[in-house]
Structure 1
Amino acid sequence: MRNGLSRRSLDRLAGGCQALRRTSLHEVHRAFGGRVQPGVVLGFVQQDDHTLLFAWAVIVAHARQALEHFRQSTKEQRDQDQRKHEQQVQYLQAELRTVNEALATKQQQAVHTLQENARLLGDLSRAQGDLHQLQEELRSLRPLKDELGFSQRRTEELGRRLVEQEAAVKQLNASNEQLEAKANELLTAKQQLELALTAAKSSVTAQEQVVVSMLERFSATVPSPDASAKDPVEGAEKMTQRNDKNPTVTGT
């Protein structure tokens, strides 16, 4: 063990030194990822083996530190990626729950919509049935409509005739009033004539009585061979009949 290194490690370092001598500075610099300056590497190459071994040990230690740093960085990056992945998974799970809840709500809405559509289809079917029935009733009512139109035209014609008849009735009423007035006048004249006739009959009767009385007195004083003188009553009756045929109207 020398400076904490085993014989095997020293052998590897020696082999590394031989290889290092054959390696170009550019390759050494690229092999260590730019963490070792070319001047340092050149100084190490120019020294003896002991110094090269020590330098190689330092380089290996730096390489181990770099590797450990790389491992630590990789672990931290992996842990960070893991946490980020877990956060993404949690976020996606939350989103998935939200989507599932929304999907369940949409499914309920879809079921409700289907039920509503079924109800609307039933209503539509019933409405179509009612419409078909109304159409049938309408077709059956068309003759009644035609008959109603004919009745309306007939009613209008009868209305015009009624107006004409009302005008004729008014005219007849006016004529009747005129006729009634004339009839009243004639009735009044008839009554006056009847009164005059009654008075004339009374006058004739009185005159007949006077004539009969005079004939009786005349026949009693002067007998006549005439047949009428023999029967004065019969002669008076004949005179009365002549007077009835030719009545004399006197004023009342």
Structure 2
Amino acid sequence: MAKSKRFPREIYETELLRLQGELVQLQEWVRTSGTRLVVVFEGRDAAGKGSTIKRVAEHLNPRVCRIVALPTPTERERTQWYFQRYVDHLPAAGEIVLLDRSWYNRAGVERVMGFCTPLEYQRFLRQCPIFENLLVEDGILLRKYWFSVSRAEQERRFRERLENPLKRWKLSPMDLESITRWDDYSRARDDMLVHTDTETVPWLVVEAEDKRRARLNMIAHLLSSVPWQPVAREPLVLPERPTDTGYTRPPRDVEHQVPDHAASLLA
């Protein structure tokens, strides 16, 4: 199959800015209405989840919208109910939580890499739909996006990261091992969808071969799926600056000034 042409940058940037403007309005609706919104981002390594999350949160208030990317569980967390450490990060009223990977680690990397037992995996498949139904029943808006990318495109992105010092941190030995375990991850994904793609909380698949298209499609869908309304805000008026009272700033040479590195670039 011929590779599709990359989405034009100018159109992408114009539409992304428009959508981000609507995300700011959605955020204000969430804040004032007391809504709780959770958005799950899952998918193959290098499928573009992180870059999409960055665009979603770029202009949002971090006090309202939090990105949660949990590390490997501690020894104590391993002895807890599996969903317990995720519950701690669920939103309160007026908050948005973006999960950069989620409880679905158990259905993917933990299953494929043998980090959980078959019994723990089967228990997860039974409990996950119940857990998500409980969240929705309690009033949480839950959206689950799966970012889909081809074998060839994933490898291309891995090679780009290997060659780019600014992106090399994104790669771990486990990420690279996903190349040799492509079919295992494919089977794990298919089984996950069979058990957790429910009518109440369906999986929403984002074709991510072109990152620009994927970001626009995901954000547009999120905005269309949440029943937000523009919130009227009281106009702000810049106050008059008060009369000078004679304050004088202390000499700069008594302060610890940051060296003017920018000036050295102009020399």
| TM-score, normalisation: structure 1 | 0.16
- Whichever structure has more strand as a proportion of its residues is 2
Greater share of helix: 1
Q: What TM-score, normalized by structure 2, do the two folds share?
A: 0.15
Pick the structure with greater CA Rg: 1
Structure scoring higher RCO (CA < 8 A, sep ≥ 6) equals: 2
